[in-house]
Structure 1
Amino acid sequence: MTEQTPRRKRPEDLRSARWFGPADLRSFGHRSRAMQMGYAPEEWQGRPVIAILNTWSDLQPCHAHFKTRVEDVKRGILMAGGFPVELPALSLSETYLKPTSMLYRNMLAMDAEELLRAHPIDGVVLMGGCDKTTPALLLAATSMNLPAIYVPAGPMLRGNWHGKVLGSGSDSWKYWDELRAGKITEKDWGGVEAGIARSYGTCMTMGTASTMTAIAEAVGMVLPGGSSMLAADAGHIRLASESGRRIVDAVWEDLTPSRIQTHDAYENAIAVAMAMGCSTNAIIHLIAMAKRAGQDIGLKDFERYSRKVPVIGNVRPSGDKYLMEDFFYAGGILALMNSMKEHLHLDCLTINGRTLGENIEGAEVYNDDVIRPLTNPIYGEGSLAVLTGNLAPDGCVIKPAAMDQKFLKHSGPALVFDDYPSLKRAVDDESWEITADHVLVLRNAGPQGGPGMPEWGMLPMPKKLLKEGHRDMLRLSDARMSGTSYGACVLHVAPESFVGGPLALIKTGDIISIDVEARSIRVEISDDEMAARKAAWHPPEPRYERGYGYMFSKHIQQANEGCDFDFLRTDFGAPIKEPSIY
């Protein structure tokens, strides 16, 4: 590393010393209130105060174990000589939050950042894992730039029904279509419902949760191997305790996110995401994270790595068979990164104080059908492809590794819907005149239009086509889709239709063409016709007129910019100063 290591902190250098150290009335109050809670001065004096941001709640199944796992983190902090304090943070349950947890990602990021800024905190352990919690907590830690370590919730165990292995999301969509097609019974469907989620932890497919925790490790914010550790494994308890111990040393070393999250580190994250068969959501979150770190990462970087890094993680939905439990047993994230190390910057510093190259050295693959060699990938290019054209001048994304390959190059007439309820009604109409060559289009589902860019992008297959035996067709929207989803779904069209992007201007019957190899997407109308339609377009009524939703609508950026708030950009306004404690 070329970086010069800062000198080791002394107790008087700790940020918390500003609260507890001075011999004045204000610090008297801080010390006396700590003693009111039963803490003796020996427990905090001269020790780093470590916040544990816990996103547990009674409506967060992915984090159910955090209620007790936080005690393991505290144990590690105490063993290393730190003073642990648990701070509950907003819990974003992918399952229960409506209209979408994406609406609240930035709220958690702000909540977490201000918790750290306003309290006497020297370092932080971030406890998350469910889709939006990982980017939200890392956005906060990056902006606050205190020593931070991330503890992923870990994937749940495999699902099971009648001896068949079930994967979160992916098999929900699969068997739902089979039920609608009349291939399984309601009783069968009930069995799938009861068997698909068998333990606490995040989705065990390569959905957004496992994608983002892998990205967090590739960037350097997770202890080696931690992102693929199973939630129900005893090793996860040890990971929690080890993370608690490590953050105390990181405080003394002043190992801040700004020292870890370099441009090279974010390129590592993109490469790993592509190799793992990542969620399409990775693009939005990783761009937001990189920009908070002051790094110029955008769609161009995803496209560059998409062309050169193949998919070697054979995990559903890009893979055909395996789940995260299999990936863990096959060697996990360290084995995958070691298998693709020629695409990585190995000298990047990580949270354990060692380089990425040191962390992955000697990592072995124990099942080369789960973690393939680069010479035998499951898909020859990266997981995602970025398309541009007159329909998406600022880009859109598709997941070629998880779709019927016959739609990689396709033209067909559009069937356009302005809202999701009308689309749902139409797809259940078996008399609908539709073929598998049509292109389903949903608009007004982007960052402002959704609102919050819901996961509606895997538009449901029409029942008529399902009964004819079709299981895929080209679908297009400015929405997102679950990382556990699959199919020929074009997503994140930017600019979105709600703000007058070209998607707002197309009509039923227009011919839409995509060519994934050429990375192009267009609607087959002239520039003059497009301009005439634009002149006749009228903006819709705003989604919100008060509260958080109003703030969201006024300041949310587009998908290609990471959907962060404009006022949270690194270059927005003067640097934030430390709060006065007087």
Structure 2
Amino acid sequence: MTATSPTPEPPNAPSEPARRSTSWFGADGKMGFVHRSKLYNSGRSPAMFDGRPVIGICNSWSELTPCNRHLRDIAEAVKRGVLLAGGFPLEFPTMSLGETLMRPSAMLYRNLMAMEVEENLRSYPLDGVVLLAGCDKTVPAQLMGALSADLPAIMLTGGPMLNGKFRGQDAGSGTHVWQFAEEVRAGRMSREEFGQAEACLSRSAGHCTTMGTASTMACLVEMMGLALPGSAAVPAVDAERARLAEQSGGRIVELVTEDLRPSSILDRRSFENAARFNAAIGGSTNALVHLSALAGRAEVEFPVDEFDRQARDIPLLVDLLPSGRFLMEEFSYAGGVPAVVAELGDRLHGDARTVTGRTVAENYAGARNWNTEVVHPLAEPVQPAGSATAVLHGNLAPDGAVIKLSAASPELTDHVGTALVFDTVEEYYERCDDPDLPVEASTVLVVRGAGPRGYPGMPEIGNLSIPKKLLDAGVRDIVRITDGRMSGTSYGTIVLHVAPESAAGGPLSLLRSGDRVHLDVAKRRIDMLVDDEELARRAEQAPPAGDADAPTGGWAELYRRHVGQADTGADLDFLRGRRGHAIPRRHL
């Protein structure tokens, strides 16, 4: 069978910028023949090669990532939008990172996924891309790859699940799991009841229902102007999400025509808006790691201390778990991101650019807050200004550490206690239920060896279970310190992301059980009360940094050799910055 129309002529008028895809599909000779011919096997006609923009749909769908399992259907709506706008959609898969199933940590593979996305965008005949992601690591991974490739791009996140329901009450992803698990350990909830709650928290497709990392990143992507206004909070199963997918497909075709790339959108204003917005929504501590990595890819200078500085005068406005009461479904009905923008007003950079081609101020003009119980007015915040994630420094964390104040116990934010140190999280859980564990309410629990290099992959282990000895005594929170992360759905007085990590020779490696530790959030300090002379002696006697059992091959070894610390986003050193989208050379 032969094609029903002649080989298309190179399509672009002289006044138009040459499209990348033209060098594939508009080429003469055998190369053009090969590129077009192979796509005919999918039933496409020559009309698809008439010079229309070729749009990639980068899909992190996977049954191994339950949060993203509905993205195949969402991709079909994106295709519809691309076709209606005159584009040529081509969907492609990427690896998918599901925090709930992946070991040792999905974070170990964020940079690998970003690399895969970047190389797909660079090596295939794509003029623009729609990024489909949901579970928290998939969102920054896709964006990191897209920023480095710098093709026109727009993201559509997958949306949250419907509210969990357990015994007549709303129950939130993650947050209630941690609560229920502690209730079982304390003997106030049976294991049968715990089992009954499992399915009640996950009632539909979508990501976590609390203001965890997935919800946080969805909101910040919209706030930074890389997604359509109003798209972040709509539930995954709401028909509006399919309409947003269709609109995103249409808009990416326009972005290609306008040659509007991420490098034309993101600047320092975008990151300042994200930092301020993260404070207002009580966002995840993980956002600081991911945004730092994105800033590195976008070549925007934005050190980790800026997250603290930008948030100092921003109160907590959104009353969602784990820092409040409600869940993402209520947040969506209250107006989502636009409602918070309306309340923050001129505390945001209204002149920052977005994928709509308009500014933040233009996108959200006339936005309303439809439920002031969920999204509080500035004059009546959930918590006052300065209650967001704080960045700490001191002799335990020279390059920084973070604490989520909105989810911490106020009485513990200025605290001196005796350290109880564990070198691995496994060691801690082997002993945490021991009735003879030398721990009391004032103890500072420390788990190290959980940073980017040390684990490897910087897992979400920071929300350490309270020792059973303390649970039985009615203690519900103590100070905890780690060079790892915690789930954005977690809560407690937990110092995270200590940098440099212990495996990189950071001061955390010198801390000993019995040392006194002082947490002073007001002064943004985290210190071990050990004199410099003693620390120098310990440093001289310390074994070389690293782990004798570290991986010796494959991705894990490459990761350990090149990963940066938490304060710079834990990206690989050779991936930071834009590398553009040059057409690969190939001749036959």
Taking structure 2 as the reference length, the TM-score comes to 0.95
Deviation at 1:11, TM superposition (A): 6.4
Asked if 1:82 is matched to 2:90, the reply is no
- Equivalent residue for 1:452, pick from 431, 454, 457: 457
Deviation at 1:470, TM superposition (A): 1.0
Counterpart residue type for residue 119 of structure 2 = E
Counterpart residue type for residue 577 of structure 2 = T
| Distance in structure 2 (CA, Å) of the matches to 1:171 and 1:446 | 26
Cα deviation digits, residues 281-304 of structure 1 (max 9, x gap): 010000110111110011121111
User: Which residue of structure 1 lines up, in the alignment, with residue 332 of structure 2?
Assistant: 328
Alpha carbons of structure 1 residues 550 and 274: separation in structure 2 relative to 1, 3 Å: same
- Equivalent residue for 1:489, pick from 488, 491, 494: 494
Deviation at 1:8, TM superposition (A): 11
Counterpart residue type for residue 185 of structure 2 = R
| Distance in structure 2 (CA, Å) of the matches to 1:8 and 1:379 | 57
Deviation at 1:187, TM superposition (A): 1.9
| Distance in structure 2 (CA, Å) of the matches to 1:318 and 1:107 | 32
| Distance in structure 2 (CA, Å) of the matches to 1:534 and 1:45 | 67
Identity of aligned residues (%): 46
- Equivalent residue for 2:194, pick from 167, 189, 201: 189
Counterpart residue type for residue 258 of structure 2 = E
Asked if 1:565 is matched to 2:569, the reply is no
| Distance in structure 2 (CA, Å) of the matches to 1:576 and 1:42 | 26
Counterpart residue type for residue 241 of structure 2 = H
Deviation at 1:166, TM superposition (A): 0.4
**Secondary structure of the equivalent of 1:579?**
coil
| Distance in structure 2 (CA, Å) of the matches to 1:432 and 1:202 | 37
Q: Which moved more, 1:202-211 or 1:365-374?
A: 365-374
User: Which residue of structure 1 lines up, in the alignment, with residue 427 of structure 2?
Assistant: 422
**Secondary structure of the equivalent of 1:322?**
coil
User: Which residue of structure 1 lines up, in the alignment, with residue 414 of structure 2?
Assistant: 409
Deviation at 1:10, TM superposition (A): 6.0
**Secondary structure of the equivalent of 2:177?**
helix
Contact 2:122 2:582 survives alignment (8 Å)? no
User: Which residue of structure 1 lines up, in the alignment, with residue 349 of structure 2?
Assistant: 345
Alpha carbons of structure 1 residues 241 and 575: separation in structure 2 relative to 1, 3 Å: closer
Structure-to-structure mapping, 1:272-287, within 5 angstroms: 272-287=277-292
- Equivalent residue for 2:475, pick from 470, 473, 496: 470
Structure-to-structure mapping, 1:170-185, within 5 angstroms: 170-185=175-190
- Equivalent residue for 1:376, pick from 377, 380, 391: 380
Contact 2:228 2:248 survives alignment (8 Å)? yes
| Distance in structure 1 (CA, Å) of the matches to 2:405 and 2:13 | 48
- Equivalent residue for 1:316, pick from 290, 312, 321: 321
Cα deviation digits, residues 406-428 of structure 1 (max 9, x gap): 10100000000011111002111
Counterpart residue type for residue 330 of structure 1 = A
**Secondary structure of the equivalent of 1:368?**
coil
Deviation at 1:70, TM superposition (A): 1.0
Taking structure 1 as the reference length, the TM-score comes to 0.96
Cα deviation digits, residues 405-457 of structure 1 (max 9, x gap): 11010000000001111100211112323211000000100000011000001
| Distance in structure 2 (CA, Å) of the matches to 1:192 and 1:513 | 38
**Secondary structure of the equivalent of 2:497?**
coil
Counterpart residue type for residue 150 of structure 1 = M
Counterpart residue type for residue 158 of structure 1 = N
Contact 1:49 1:82 survives alignment (8 Å)? yes
**Secondary structure of the equivalent of 2:465?**
coil
Structure 1 unaligned spans of 5+: 1-6
Structure-to-structure mapping, 1:236-315, within 5 angstroms: 236-315=241-320
Alpha carbons of structure 1 residues 120 and 575: separation in structure 2 relative to 1, 3 Å: closer
Asked if 1:162 is matched to 2:170, the reply is no
Deviation at 1:503, TM superposition (A): 0.4
| Distance in structure 1 (CA, Å) of the matches to 2:163 and 2:581 | 45
Q: Which moved more, 1:444-453 or 1:367-376?
A: 367-376
User: Which residue of structure 2 lines up, in the alignment, with residue 556 of structure 1?
Assistant: 563
Contact 1:8 1:254 survives alignment (8 Å)? no
Deviation at 1:493, TM superposition (A): 0.3
Structure 2 unaligned spans of 5+: 1-11
Deviation at 1:36, TM superposition (A): 2.9
Cα deviation digits, residues 180-213 of structure 1 (max 9, x gap): 0011112211121121111110001000001111
User: Which residue of structure 1 lines up, in the alignment, with residue 215 of structure 2?
Assistant: 210
| Distance in structure 1 (CA, Å) of the matches to 2:366 and 2:522 | 36
Deviation at 1:576, TM superposition (A): 6.9
| Aligned length in residues | 573
User: Which residue of structure 1 lines up, in the alignment, with residue 535 of structure 2?
Assistant: 530
Contact 2:56 2:89 survives alignment (8 Å)? yes
Cα deviation digits, residues 291-345 of structure 1 (max 9, x gap): 11110011121111221111111111111x1011111111111110121022111
Instruction: Tell me how large the CA RMSD over aligned residues is.
Output: 1.5
Contact 1:409 1:513 survives alignment (8 Å)? yes
| Distance in structure 1 (CA, Å) of the matches to 2:93 and 2:86 | 22
Asked if 1:356 is matched to 2:360, the reply is yes
- Equivalent residue for 1:141, pick from 126, 138, 146: 146
| Distance in structure 2 (CA, Å) of the matches to 1:44 and 1:357 | 38
User: Which residue of structure 1 lines up, in the alignment, with residue 511 of structure 2?
Assistant: 506
Counterpart residue type for residue 147 of structure 1 = P
Counterpart residue type for residue 455 of structure 2 = G
Contact 1:408 1:516 survives alignment (8 Å)? yes
| Distance in structure 1 (CA, Å) of the matches to 2:14 and 2:188 | 65
Cα deviation digits, residues 10-62 of structure 1 (max 9, x gap): 66711100111121221121122122332111112210000001101111111
| Distance in structure 2 (CA, Å) of the matches to 1:566 and 1:445 | 20
Alpha carbons of structure 1 residues 308 and 199: separation in structure 2 relative to 1, 3 Å: same
